Amino acid sequence: MNHAFTYLLEPVFQALRNRARRREPGDGLRAAVFGALALFVGLTLFAVVFWLTWQLLDYEELGDYLVRLGLSWLFLTFLSFLAFSSLVTSLSTFFLSEDMRLLLAAPVPVERLFYSRFAKTAAQSSWMVVTFLLPVLMAVGLARCAPLAFYFTAVLTVVPFVIIPVAFGALVTLVLVNVFPARRARDVLMLMGLLFAVGLVLLLRFLQPERLLKVESLPDVAAFFATLQAPVTPLLPSFWAGESLFSALRGAVDGLHAGALWTTALCALVVTRICYARYFFAGWSKAQEARKARFTRLAGLDWLLARLPLRAPARSLVVKDLKVFLRDTTQWSQLLLLLALALVYVYNFRVLDLDRIPYMSGTIKNVYAFVNLAMAAFVLSAVAVRFVFPAVSAEGAAFWIVRSSPISMSTFLWSKFWTGLWPVLLLAEGLTIASNHLLGVTPVLRVLTAAAIVGMSFALVGLAAGLGARYPRFAAENVTQVAGSFGGIAFMVLAVLFIVVMVGLLAWPASIFLWHQLRGDPISPARGAIASACLLAALVLCAATFWLPMRRGIRALEELG
């Protein structure tokens, strides 16, 4: 091949162009929803950061110090995100991507292949960080009336800052793929998920954010700032990026840190390229052998499911779904991440020690119980859109087996529903009960929210399974594609609306009840009737959100051409 490495990226751009030319149903809605959401998030970020930076102007040196520290923190967070993200992306772009078979069979020099895949990895793993940085850095620059050079420096800082963790991720992936038993290449993903989860928990513990709330426990102001300073080390690229930008903000040029960033980035790129030239093919070849991976026979699962009171067809479907899920390590790794985040979420309630904060009175705690309910329901929706919504589409090209078998579409979809419901219900219920317990919420609210999350689990899982059947994507390459389809977006929009309405319907009667209980007044019959009507409406809403999409989903499957 005589072309530059960018030639290998042309199919990506051509595919994007073709995709834009040939619109599919729902594209407009998806673009509108995502566009509005992105604009909202971007503007909010800009406004918040602008306001914060503006406020800090009043504090002269302290303000400067906090901006400087804030930039280092921001880049440290992104550094860890980029490092993990590029690990996972490298495995996919370099070793598991389908088109590599086509490219490797062609006379493409390995260096050009490396640069094209590196660019793809960098773009895929960093677009979110860059999109996030854009409004933040613009807000900081505008609030500080920074010179134009600041924005140039921002671009010149972000580029090497992205290259370093991506090179690190690509190198670690290369080592993992070469070192690990070749038949388990995909399992590497699971390990990475686990490492990230552990890393996340450790990072949070390292930061000890709860200490910031116990200012009196720190001996002096210096100790308070030392706490803030703790994770910022001058040896990390995040520090160099922060320092470089802070100098530019004040109209100065920090050649030392900018130089450190660029030399490290270029060095990392060259070292990674040399390693890939030497070890890539061996690693790729081993990753191919992983297709013959050993697998667990899951005999215990067979034994357990054989005892479930299910008819044979339904049982077969459940056994198949569970085994496919448990043997797909890419699914597991995501679940591990989710569990790690859930643990951190619950853990925060334990360490925050809310009772010692004077304004965190009982009322606010009880209000927080509903925020907590909404949060648990959002987690539930995220799990449902990722695991339940794609359940029908996941049958893919093998769906003919179900369609040609003597199983009704009703049995099929209900099996998907029940398989999805139990884990989701256990997770949501566990989160709600544990966090309310740690918060010290009133017993009445504990019971109410614990019961509500059961209804919401039924409703959201029913909605996900039903819409998944109504808008299946049997040709999708992976579940992420299914979750991001028109049906997936529609599910998320409906789920958010459902959660908002449900929290409203439950919070109002609960607050009436608590208010009267606090004052020792009896509730008037009219208010009691309205409160009961709200609770009844919540129940009806749950039932409708659960039942109607399931019915529509079954009908849609029966009418499939």
Which residues are near another protein by CB under 8 A?
Answer: 1-3, 7-8, 10-11, 14-16, 18-19, 22, 98-99, 101-110, 182-183, 281-282, 285-286, 288-289, 292, 475
The distance of closest approach from Cβ of residue 106 to another protein in the complex, given in angstroms and rounded to an integer, is 4
- Please give the torsion angle defined by the CA atoms of residues 401, 403, 405 and 411, in that order, rounded to the nearest 10 degrees: 110
Q: Residue 63 region, left (φ>0) first, then alpha (ψ -120 to 50), else beta?
A: alpha
Shortest reach from residue 16's CB to another protein, in Å: 8
Comparing CA positions, the residue from 184, 204, 185 lying closest to residue 196 is: 204
Residue 471 Cα to chain centre, angstroms:
23
Nearer to another protein, 280 or 491 (CB): 280
Among residues 291 and 519, whose Cβ is nearest to another protein?
Answer: 291
Q: How far is the CB of 38 from another protein (least distance, A)?
A: 23
Backbone CA torsion sign across 479, 485, 491, 493: positive
Q: Nearer to another protein by C-beta: 229 or 288?
A: 288
Q: Please identify, using beta-carbon distances, which residue of 292 and 519 lies nearer to another protein.
A: 292
* CA within 13 Å, CB half, 524: 3
Separation between Cα atoms, residue 108 and residue 13, nearest integer Å:
19
Q: Which is nearer to another protein, 68 or 120 (CB)?
A: 120
Minimal distance in Å, beta carbon 24 to another protein?
A: 11
- Closest contact distance (angstroms) between CB of 466 and another protein is 27
- Distances 23 to 18, 88, 367 between C-alpha atoms, Å: 9, 30, 45
- 482 to each of 284, 387, 424, 471, 540, how far by Cα in Å? 27, 10, 19, 9, 29
CB of 10 to another protein, least distance (A): 6
Q: 467: which 2 tokens?
A: 């819409």
Name which of 286 and 365 has its Cβ closer to another protein: 286
Quickly list DSSP for 494-534. Answer: HHHHHHHHHHHHHHHHHHHHHHHHHHTPPPPHHHHHHHHHH
**Integer Cα distance of 336 and 530 in angstroms:** 43
Rounded to a whole number of angstroms, the minimum distance from the CB of residue 499 to another protein is 35
Cα separation, 258 vs 239, in Å, equals 11
User: What's the CA angle centered on 429, arms 213 and 527, to 5 degrees?
Assistant: 85
Helices (H) and strands (E) in the chain, counts: 20, 0
Smallest gap, in angstroms, from Cβ of residue 281 to another protein? 6
Q: Which is nearer to another protein, 295 or 303 (CB)?
A: 295
Between the CA atoms of 430, 435, 438 and 442, what dihedral angle is there, to the nearest 10 degrees?
-100
CB of 4 to another protein, least distance (A): 11
Residue 8 CB, nearest distance to another protein (Å)? Answer: 8
Comparing CB distances to another protein, the nearer of 40 and 281 is 281
Distance in Å, CB of 108 to another protein, minimum:
6
By beta-carbon proximity to another protein, the closer residue of 177 and 383 is 177
Helix, strand or coil, per DSSP, at residue 3? coil
Q: Angle at CA 101, nearest 5°, toward 95 and 103?
A: 100
Cβ-based nearer residue to another protein, 51 or 281: 281
For residues 257 and 242, give the distance between their C-alpha atoms in angstroms, rounded to a whole number: 9
- Rank residues 27 and 558 by Cβ distance to another protein and give the closer one: 27
Element housing 335 (H / E):
helix 329-352
Is 232 exposed, middle or buried (CB count within 10 Å of its CB: 0-12, 13-18, 19+)? middle
Nearest CB to another protein, comparing residues 92 and 331: 92
Separation of alpha carbons 131 and 133, rounded Å: 6
Smallest distance, another protein to C-beta of residue 30, A: 17
